[in-house]
Structure formats: structure tokens, C-alpha cells
Structure 1
Amino acid sequence: MTSAQMPASARPTSRDVARAAGVSQATVSLVLGDKWRGRVSEATAARVRHAADGLGYQPNLAARQLRLGRTRTALLVVPALTNEFFARVHTGAAAVAAEHGFGVVLYPSPEGVGPARDPFASARASLDGVIASSMAAGALDALRGADLPLVMLDSDPADTGVAARVDLDIADGMRQVAEHLLALGHRRFVHLAAAVDSWTFAIRARALHDTVGAVPGTCVRTVEAALDVHAGREAAQRALAAPGPRPTAIVCDDDVLAAGACKTARRLGLRVPDDLSVTGFSDLALSVAVEPELTTVRLPAERVGERGMAALLAVLDGRPAEPGSLPVRLVARGSSAAAPQDAGRA
């Protein structure tokens, strides 16, 4: 059976060639695209060709068109179109793409955590690369098997097989939230966590528990909820009605969950922030539409999209992508204040 006759999942990819030759995927692209002279040594080029021959590697049509400069199209995969953050990521990516004569095809995941089995089976030949934002671990196997350069945004740094990645300093964002509330005297916390299996939410939980847990006399209770206002309201209701001393702060994984928590507080006759502080994450437009306005973490969504597209363009040109994580910033507003002296019970 030849490489072309193998199922897509079994065919050797350029990443396999790079691994076998001990070089980067960008170097493989240069050598097999016949653009290596003056950029890669003769010995390295020979090693890459030998590895490709030994594996029976055959570039797919998308890669061939890429070398000829015919496609100029990137696929942006996001968990949902209903979330403002991903709309802004697309805005940033599309702006940079337009500057370089590229188009961006937007693909929302039907399951909210990763793409369908193969979102571009019929369009693979018209794509130069893929940018994937906030995907769950293991959700991108179909993309890896497509032999297209893959740039990951706000995703697990341990995830292998990617050409480049653009990270937000999510952990620092949650540390800023925790330190802000601790400085205000809060010691009893509820973590209103998104019920989504993805790295970006797992790292928030870890940073919150580590930061709060380092202070004696503190406690954090985690309650999960789907990413919508109704689910956030119900989860906050359960947390505040639980036996024992009432928490003085609810730390939410997202501004939408924080809006639900604020609705619950009002229904229980609690004042935000006098009786209960509530924080969000992302700094969506919603954060200043509620009253009081939300203390939250500002994520530079458009900058994420810009850096993601720039990283893909760098990979396609055989250049290294810009390194380093994008910083995030706590925005303190009216929903957080000093912990009440006597929290009582919900």
C-alpha cells in the first residue's frame, strides 16, 4: 500500500518527517518546498529528504498549492460563535490576514469544545493552515492528521504536534483576582467553574486554589456550571444555600457566570459587593452592562487573533513565530469590596 492509499490518519505527515530527521517542521517545509538553499545546509536537506523517502511521505495537495502560493486561506476553529471573545479573536486574525492578502474561514465547533471529526474534508486543498482557539485536549486529532500547519491559541502548552502557539497568561490573571480579594480580607471563596473540559479553565482552577491555599485560614469550594447565565445563577444558588458560614466572594471563570451569580445574590437579598463580592473573567461587554459593573480580567482577544495569524504566516514563510505569552490585566470595578465582618448564612 502506498502512502496515498493509506487512510489519512495513518499517512506520514511533515511532523513525522521532522521528528525522524531531527529538525523543525519549518525546515521540512523549506527542504521539500525546494526553498532551502541559503537557509539550510546541504547535509540537513539531505537528511530531511532521506527521512521523507524512508517514511514514504507524500505532500498533500494543500501543501503543494501552498508552495505555489495559490491558496492564501486559513481555517480558524473556535468553540462557539455566540461567545464575544471568539468573535474578537476572529476580528484580529482577519485584520492581519487581510494585510497579507489572506482570507480566514471561521469554523465553530458543534460540540463547543473541539471541531467535528474532519471539518474540512472537502476543502482541505483550499487551506494553507489552521488556527485553533481554546480547544479541549485531544479534540484536534483530525486537524493534526490533515498535514497542515497548526497554530494553537490559549491552549495546553503540553499539547504536541503544533507548528506554533499563542498563549495568554491565564494563570496570572486568576492569581491577580485571588490576590485582589485576599487583600480585601476575603477568606471564604466559591469558585464558580465552567463545566468545560479545556486547559484554559483547568489552569484557572489551579491558579485560584494555589494562590488562596497559600494563605492560612482560607477555603475554596468549587461548583461547576455550564457557560450561561441561567446555569451560573443555579450553581450560585446551591453554593450560597449550602450549610455552614456563607462565602464572602464568588470567583467566576467567565463574565457570563458572574452575571448569573449577581442575579442569585439579588434574589437572596444579598448586596453586591457589601455582602458578597463577585468577579468575572474575560471583560466582555456584559461586564459593564450589569450593575454593579464586574471586577474581571481583561483578555486581549483581538491581539490573540492578530498574533495567531502572524504566527501562521511566519510558519508558512519558514520563520520563527513571535515568542512569549500575552499579558492579562485585572480590572477592578464595583462588584468587589472589603469582606463583610459577619457573613452569616445565605
Structure 2
Amino acid sequence: MTSNEAASPAGAHSGADGAAHPGPRAATRVTSRDVARAAGVSQAAVSLVLGDKWRGRVSPGKAEAVRAAARELGYRPNLAARSLRMGRTRTVLLVVPALTTEFFARVYTGAARVAAEHGFGVVVYPSPEGIGPARDPFDSAAATLDGVIASSMAAEALTPLRDADLPLVMLDSDPDDDRADATVNLDIADGIRQLTGHLSALGHRRITHLAADVASWTFEVRARAVADSLRGLPGAQLRRRPAAFGVEAGLHAAHAALTGPGPRPTALLCDDDIIAAGACKAVRRLGLRIPEDVSVTGFDDLALAVAVEPELTTVRLPAEEFGEAGIRALLTVLDGRPADAPTLPVELVVRGSTAPPPDAPGYAARPGGQ
């Protein structure tokens, strides 16, 4: 098999009735010549497109025809031979705070999809809670990997991997961190502004921020954005209560916020949907109603957001597109070109967990209120 060939499953054989029937897997091979013939282009054009070197040399229409033909034929490049030729391992590392969170699973899905289109594989590596340290998972990352993508990590968590001197793209991280070759972000601050704007428009003035108790750039941005959004709003009373990730942690933090001294908050603004789910449990255990007595908001728009009742008002993050943008930035860096630093838009999703606050006289008769 040459460097531009790969094994492909056999399609079918004809039975006595002349119809096609699934047959055993055969040694049929799909080559770049087959792709070129199907797309109506030269083999050189196929090599340029599948190697992502086509811009300015192959028209966008022909490039799409090549990609479509390759998908239809099931073409796969011989990555081992290509790696020897290019001096690359065709492998990148995606470092995330946790493997059990849906958001990071979707980031991986998007990253892996684009990586596969360019003949790369993605290895996922968790660094506890995003604070690390993210140790080199190999004897030598520099010899095993072509680059690293790190999502939502504390700056100091990546020191061991940075020491490997590999190309590094940071996701959801400080764009002024010059140790990264490129940074791709979500518009987290705008998401918070949308949430606080929604709550304040409903009439909420006593708002408690259930803030993720993690020292990382993304949660610092959220804390600043909440404070900035409510600064100058007449009658606004913002409190902040740290909460570890998890339903139980959200429950305890929300319970403390609702039963502490002073007027009870009319809204709980949570740093993610999981903390918000715990907050919803705390509200109910106190005999309160959502949203009649207390409004609750989340962040991320996980599947959990529509599993609770009432469904959560939250901010939807384009996680798969986020992973895709990260891989594209890394591939650009590997190609020796400066990468863009895009900020992806986010979207407020209003559901049943938010409503105007109750009348003030009703607070005194409820648990924890004054």
C-alpha cells in the first residue's frame, strides 16, 4: 500500500437473481486516484485538498468535490507513511478539567471530527478540576505529539506540558497569556451580561452569584461580568457565594444563600447548570417555589438543563464548534502560519426557571426570609 492508499471494505456481490448482496470484506483498496476520478480532478489536487494545502491552488468548489468523494468512497490516508514523510506523529493532545462533563465531551467531539478530516488523531487527557498540574502523560510529549489544546485550564496547570515546547492552543483562557500560540474563546462575559440583563429586566435586584470555586480565567471573567453588569443598577444587592462543582455542592451553597442573614435573594445566578441543579433542590427543600419565590439560572445548556423541572434558563455554549475552532487554530500553527483568535458567540436560552420576583411582603413569611 502506498502513502496515498488505504484499505476499504468490499461493497457487495451479485447473487443468482442478479441483485447485489452484501459480501465478505475483501482487499479492495481506495486510492487517491479513485478519489480524483470520482471528483473529476487530478491526483495532485486530491493531495492538496486532503493535506489542507489547497487554498489559492484549488477552487473551493473542487475542494468540496474532493472531500465529498473521499467521504463517499471511504478513503483513508496511510497515516504511518505520511508521518514518516512529514516528520509528524499526526497526534494532538486535548487537556480538559474532567472527562465526566458533557461540555468537554462535546468539545472533544468537535475537535476529533475536524482532526480526522485532516488525518490527525486526538488523545484526551484530564487534569483534575483544571488546576493540574497536567503532567506529561508520555515519556516524552515532544516525541509523541504534534501539539496540545487545553480547554478551561488554570495558567499554571500546563507548566509541565509547556516545558515540552510543543505548539499550544488555549481554549476558554486568558488571551493575553503569551505562552500560548493561539487562544480561542467563547464570549463568556456577554453570556453573563445577557443573564443579568434578563434578571434585572424581570425586576430582580437581590441576586446571589453561586460562583465556581476554581481559580481559573473563565470563572474570574464571570465574576467580573456579574459585578460590572449590576453596578449602577438602582437597588441592586449582589452577593457572591463560592460553590464547588457538583449537585450537592450547589445545594449546600444555595441553602446557605437562602437562609443566611439579611433579605433573601430573589435570584440565584449559577456558574454552571450542575450547580444550578443543586440550587433547585435547595429551593424546594426550603418549601419555596421556582420561579415564583426564587429564580434560578445556569450556564452551559447541558442536557441537565431540560431534565430539571422547571427547565433551566441558561446560556448555550457552542461546545462542538469550540473544539472545531481549536483544532483549526492548532493546524494553522503547525502549518507555520499565524492563527486567528476568534471569540465564539453564546446564546441566552430563557426557560421556566425565571420569572419576576414576588412582592416584598411575601418574603417575611418564608423560610430564611426577613
Structure 2: which amino acid aligns with 1:344?
Y
TM-score, normalised on structure 2? 0.74
Larger radius of gyration: 2
Structure 2: which amino acid aligns with 1:201?
F
CA–CA separation in structure 2 for the residues paired with 1:191 and 1:310: 35
Q: Secondary structure at the match of 1:191?
A: strand
Distance 1:113 1:262, change over 3 A: same
Structure 2: which amino acid aligns with 1:102?
F
8 Å CA contact retained: 1:232, 1:260: yes
Distance 1:316 1:323, change over 3 A: same
Structure 1: which amino acid aligns with 2:116?
A
8 Å CA contact retained: 2:130, 2:154: no
Distance 1:66 1:290, change over 3 A: farther
CA–CA separation in structure 2 for the residues paired with 1:262 and 1:193: 15
Q: Residue 165 of structure 1 corresponds to which residue in structure 2?
A: 183
CA–CA separation in structure 2 for the residues paired with 1:320 and 1:337: 46
Deviations 1:291-341 (A, max 9, x none): 000000001110110000000001111223234300001100000011111
Q: Give the C-alpha shift of residue 144 in structure 1.
A: 1.7
CA–CA separation in structure 2 for the residues paired with 1:117 and 1:323: 26
Unpaired segments of 5 or more residues in structure 1? 1-64
Q: Residue 315 of structure 1 corresponds to which residue in structure 2?
A: 333
Q: Secondary structure at the match of 1:161?
A: coil
Deviations 1:47-79 (A, max 9, x none): xxxxxxxxxxxxxxxxxx798343111000000
Q: Secondary structure at the match of 2:156?
A: coil
CA–CA separation in structure 2 for the residues paired with 1:70 and 1:269: 60
8 Å CA contact retained: 1:190, 1:223: yes
Q: Give the C-alpha shift of residue 123 in structure 1.
A: 4.3
Q: Residue 134 of structure 2 corresponds to which residue in structure 1?
A: 116
Q: Percent identity?
A: 69
Q: Secondary structure at the match of 1:131?
A: strand
CA–CA separation in structure 1 for the residues paired with 2:133 and 2:121: 20
Q: Residue 74 of structure 1 corresponds to which residue in structure 2?
A: 92
Structure 1: which amino acid aligns with 2:291?
P
8 Å CA contact retained: 2:185, 2:341: no
CA–CA separation in structure 2 for the residues paired with 1:160 and 1:328: 25
Q: Residue 259 of structure 1 corresponds to which residue in structure 2?
A: 277
CA–CA separation in structure 2 for the residues paired with 1:136 and 1:270: 37
8 Å CA contact retained: 1:143, 1:150: no
2:229 to 211, 219, 228: 211
8 Å CA contact retained: 2:92, 2:148: yes
Distance 1:70 1:160, change over 3 A: closer
Q: Secondary structure at the match of 2:179?
A: coil
Q: Give the C-alpha shift of residue 244 in structure 1.
A: 1.6
The reply on whether 1:276 has 2:294 as its aligned counterpart is yes
TM-score, normalised on structure 1? 0.79
CA–CA separation in structure 2 for the residues paired with 1:312 and 1:132: 11
Which consecutive aligned stretches of 4+ in structure 1 deviate over 6 angstroms post-superposition? none
